[in-house]
Structure 1
């Protein structure tokens, strides 16, 4: 792949709609690290994240016609696909069963030491942006976007009214937008 080739967002969208494999390869090469970082943040499992990343790019390829430029940028659309796919995996019965099995094997010690513990890695550098939010806002963003909790689940977990969760989450997103647009 020639890494000196660049595309505008319009060219990427047009190439995706035309099913141009060079454009798709460019997207994968340039955006997979960021999407992988989001997936790992949600799942906290590097091995599972690799599989989910492949599913994400299949969805991007299959549903490219559903991208609407009026609703947001291409990267944001792909990021939402990655996050939603990871959350779907997190909520799936198979994943929950796998985690129960994994928890059992975590209790087993090999050569006198515990099994490998994965470090949380911030692939996007997004934690610096989140640090500019209040602790309350960071908690809401973490629960909603990285843990995949619904607003109702957040309301129960934090023991605050649903309307308050919605308002505070909306304010946190507005604050994030203003930070990112600076």
Structure 2
């Protein structure tokens, strides 16, 4: 059965076709979700939410605007970002003990891999104050560039330029 035939059956609310769709895409979507959340149970929950959204919103898919996989991938990505920004997710992360992170240091002994685990913020503190604030918003707090623009009350284009310059400066610091 082709994807087009499968979609036709799903539009008719055929549950067997939807099961086939799940079998076809669930592993790929789970991989994307898990890479963002890094938590098995939460990733499974989000995956389930994603397929419910796909089922309920299938009528909003427009073939002329892009591929079906891109559409469901965006649903998965947005649902995962919503989960990352949720209060319950943030509160559960605050309560993790340091034992959960020991494997990061034991797994790979190269200096490069330890930078992320033990002190990327130390390197960021060497940047200009405007870079520190921007990187904090974009990378540690998960703001979009548009949201950072609004928070800092500067134009979006300025945020994009400063982001590029700050990352370039950070790379220079890390290479030393």
Task: State which structure, 1 or 2, has the greater radius of gyration over its C-alpha atoms.
Answer: 2
2:84 is the counterpart of 1:93: no
Distance 1:166 1:64 in 2: 34
- Taking structure 1 as the reference length, the TM-score comes to 0.59
The runs of 5 or more residues in structure 2 that have no matched partner are: 108-137, 164-176
Q: Which structure shows the higher helix fraction?
A: 2
- Kept in 2: contact 1:154–1:165 (CA 8 A): yes
Partner of 1:13: 7
Other structure's SS at 2:28 match: helix
Distance 1:34 1:97 in 2: 28
Tell me the number of residue pairs that the alignment of Structure 1 and Structure 2 aligns: 129
Q: Deviations 1:56-104 (Å, cap 9, x if unpaired)?
A: 01111111111111111111110000000000000011111111122xx
Higher relative contact order (CA 8 A, sep 6+): 1
Distance 2:73 2:148 in 1: 22
Q: Deviations 1:131-175 (Å, cap 9, x if unpaired)?
A: xxxxxxxxxxxx69xx8530146679xxx97315558x9xxxxxx
2:62 is the counterpart of 1:68: yes
Distance 2:58 2:146 in 1: 31
Distance 1:17 1:148, change over 3 A: farther
- CA deviation after TM superposition for structure 1 residue 49, in Å: 0.3
Distance 1:61 1:68 in 2: 14
Runs of 4+ in 1 over 4 A off after TM superposition: 114-117, 153-156, 164-167
Distance 2:144 2:49 in 1: 23
